[in-house]
Amino acid sequence: MCSSDLLSPSWSPDGSQLAYVSFEDKNSAIYLQNVRSGERERIISGDGINSSPAFSPDGQRLAVTLSRDGDPEIYIYSLRSRDLDRITRHPAIDTEPNWAPDGGSLVFTSDRGGGPQIYRVKLDGTSPQRVTFNMGRYNARARHSPDGKKLAVVHGTDRGYHIAVLDLETNIYEILTSARLDESPSFAPNGSMLIYATMGALGSELAATSTDGRLKQRLALQRGEVREPAWGPFRK
Question: pLDDT tens digits, residue range 68-123?
Answer: 989 999 999 999 999 999 999 999 999 999 999 999 999 999 999 999 999 999 99
pTM of this prediction exceeds 0.85: yes
Residue 6 is predicted with a pLDDT of 87
Residue 63 is predicted with a pLDDT of 98
Question: pLDDT tens digits, residue range 12-55?
Answer: 999 999 999 999 988 999 999 999 999 999 999 999 999 999 99
DSSP calls for the chain? ---S-EEEEEE-TTSSEEEEEE-TTSS-EEEEEETTT--EEEEE--SS-EEEEEE-TTSSEEEEEE-TTSS-EEEEEETTT--EEE----SS-EEEEEE-TTSSEEEEEE-TTSS-EEEEEETT----EE--SSS-SEEEEEEE-TTSSEEEEEEEETTEEEEEEEETTT--EEE---SSBEEEEEE-TTSSEEEEEEEETTEEEEEEEETTSS-EEEE---SS---S--PPPP--
Question: pLDDT tens digits, residue range 174-229?
Answer: 999 999 999 999 999 999 999 999 988 778 899 999 999 999 998 865 566 788 99
